[in-house]
Structure 1
Amino acid sequence: MTICRLEVSNPAFTPDNTQFVTVHSSHLNRRHDVSIYNVNAQTENVPIIVLMHGVYGNHWVWMGLGGIHHVYERLRSEHKISEFVLVMPSDGGLRDGSAYLPTKGHGNYEQWIMDDVITAVQKTVENVTINSPLYLSGLSMGGYGALRLGAKYAEQVSGISAHSSITDLLELTEFVDHSLDAYDCRNLHESNIVYWMNKNKNKLPPIRFDCGREDILYSGNIRFVEELKSNGIPHIYETFEGEHSWEYWHTHIVQTFEFFSDIQTHRR
């Protein structure tokens, strides 16, 4: 039992269609938080999108800084996307960012996402079940998390979409001051996205990602695209005007919702 306890917000006092959950996790040996939107979803086995934030962020930033629930509702009202539950976890709270990786003695932030967070949503949102399709998305460090976890756990994931992504763990040093030695990458390939994509090449879900041309991570994304091409890994890559900013992510989360919705349509 990896979840020791769940504390769930009261809908009478919570913003409409929103839920906050505090998860007491044995993977982290402490408490961390998840924001969930569209908890009143009516679809049976409603699919979930796990949205991973970047360095310095927390569970509330997707809504509180990115306003993505407004984008989701607009697209739904225009009948452009199918129904999802939006799951927005803390990265686990390691220093400036956990990178959603295992660490040496600080907790397993990979299993926090792939075990604790998903189980917590299944336990607290009525129409989310073990049969709900799982989609992974993220921005910056969260984009790295979505690409890496989606590739490593390919059989569990229905689609991957990432924005302004760190594509090599070394790029994390652009944002943090601490040593990368904290991350448990004793296996040489553990942090390498392309390694996991090659390892699970025949199982990979559809993959898309994008980056702004003025983004600090743009050149890294271009190198990553070339690496995927040289390894024959199918993907969609898009570039747009924009920087590493919430304005960019608020605008281009549309591509994620539409991409996942298209996958759902073809699943039926």
Structure 2
Amino acid sequence: MSNFNSIQTSLPRFEQDGLRHVTVKSNALGQRADLSLFLPNVLERKLPLVILLHGIYSSHWGWSSCAGAHLTAARLIAEGEIPPLVLAMPSDGLWGDGSGYFSHHGKEFDRWIVDEVPAVAKEAGAPISDTSPCFIAGLSMGGFGALSLGARFGGKFQAISAHSSVTDLRELDQVVEESLLSGARREMDLEVLQTILTNREMLPPTRFDCGLDDSLLGANRELHRSLQEQGVEHVYEEFSGGHEWSYWERHLEDTLRFFAEHLS
């Protein structure tokens, strides 16, 4: 029996490169939501699950159609660099220019990602189980979501990775039409640092990176410095590049290798 009032998936005979698309009536959002899945062509049935979160203005198609995430995963699997795994690439809930991945305005965007996305993936035929290892990663606003949700729900994730992260939702207010600030009830809703420090005892292995030409470089360096000062173990890296899809396409490999290293 389904956990959802309605769920529709793409037809297998039209799917390409292991991509499956899903639309579901989300209980957490009270509306339809979308999810793209990468399903590797393997016989195993209890694979790890990697949730990839997109940034503002985008949706579930961003990681696959702008960064080829499914192709990167397939290549690394074929080359034996990572084990077979499922990618779940959800929409953020499609609120305004971006939901921020926390609960506000009567919608539980965080529960949609943490609780419902794995359930939807399983119902849509992903070869995962209730005990499959789960990882979370994201870019830009999705980096904020990955770091925040990974810290808040540390017991659900084995590792966290983030690229070019927004570290404070106030940074987004200048580039979105609908402000997220009115929906924030706590400081930790706004700041990655406060969320991590509040939940540091349950923090899974964490890495994040940023491009040297990215406008968010200073904020990422400050987060790294603050975590170092507080004695919070993490990995931080900088690479050439800016706030752009070509950067995220390249460095998704770092995320997937990091997750492979932390499979128990």
Under a length normalisation based on structure 2, what TM-score does the superposition of the two structures give? 0.94
The one-letter code of the counterpart of 2:56 is V
C-alpha offsets along residues 215-242 of structure 1, whole Å, 9 cap, x if unaligned? 0110110111111112211100000010
- Mean Cα deviation higher: 226-235 or 210-219: 226-235
The one-letter code of the counterpart of 1:252 is H
**Residue in 2 that maps onto 1:225:** 224
Residue 119 of structure 1: how far off its partner (Å): 1.0
Residue 251 of structure 1: how far off its partner (Å): 0.7
CA distance 1:72–1:232, change in 2 (3 Å): same
CA contact (8 A) 2:33 2:93 kept: yes
| Distance in 2 between residues matched to 1:22 and 1:111, nearest whole Å | 17
**In the alignment, does 2:54 pair up with 1:53?**
yes
The one-letter code of the counterpart of 1:34 is L
CA contact (8 A) 2:166 2:216 kept: yes
**Residue in 1 that maps onto 2:240:** 241
**Helix, strand or coil at the partner of 1:65:** helix
- Mean Cα deviation higher: 114-123 or 218-227: 114-123
CA contact (8 A) 2:37 2:88 kept: yes
CA contact (8 A) 1:23 1:31 kept: yes
Residue 193 of structure 1: how far off its partner (Å): 2.2
| Distance in 2 between residues matched to 1:194 and 1:165, nearest whole Å | 12
Residue 191 of structure 1: how far off its partner (Å): 3.0
| Unaligned 5+ runs, structure 1 | none
Query: Which residues of 2 match residues 116-265 of structure 1 at below 5 A?
Result: 116-183=116-183, 185-264=184-263
| Unaligned 5+ runs, structure 2 | none
C-alpha offsets along residues 161-194 of structure 1, whole Å, 9 cap, x if unaligned? 10000011111124313323342x2233333322
CA distance 1:112–1:2, change in 2 (3 Å): farther
CA distance 1:103–1:78, change in 2 (3 Å): same
Residue 124 of structure 1: how far off its partner (Å): 2.1
Question: Percent identity over the alignment?
Answer: 38
| Distance in 1 between residues matched to 2:43 and 2:256, nearest whole Å | 18
Residue 199 of structure 1: how far off its partner (Å): 2.7
Under a length normalisation based on structure 1, what TM-score does the superposition of the two structures give? 0.93
- Mean Cα deviation higher: 250-259 or 167-176: 167-176
CA contact (8 A) 1:139 1:165 kept: yes
| Distance in 2 between residues matched to 1:229 and 1:219, nearest whole Å | 15
**In the alignment, does 2:19 pair up with 1:18?**
yes
**Residue in 2 that maps onto 1:112:** 112
| Distance in 2 between residues matched to 1:164 and 1:126, nearest whole Å | 29
| Distance in 2 between residues matched to 1:100 and 1:215, nearest whole Å | 22
| Distance in 1 between residues matched to 2:188 and 2:65, nearest whole Å | 35
- Mean Cα deviation higher: 149-158 or 61-70: 61-70
**In the alignment, does 2:101 pair up with 1:100?**
yes
- Mean Cα deviation higher: 155-164 or 13-22: 13-22
CA contact (8 A) 1:135 1:160 kept: yes
Divergent runs of 4+, >6 A: none
**Residue in 1 that maps onto 2:35:** 34
| Distance in 1 between residues matched to 2:114 and 2:223, nearest whole Å | 24
The one-letter code of the counterpart of 1:171 is E
CA distance 1:58–1:126, change in 2 (3 Å): closer
CA contact (8 A) 1:89 1:117 kept: yes
The one-letter code of the counterpart of 2:29 is L
| Distance in 2 between residues matched to 1:140 and 1:2, nearest whole Å | 31
The one-letter code of the counterpart of 1:204 is L
| Distance in 2 between residues matched to 1:188 and 1:73, nearest whole Å | 39
The one-letter code of the counterpart of 1:12 is R
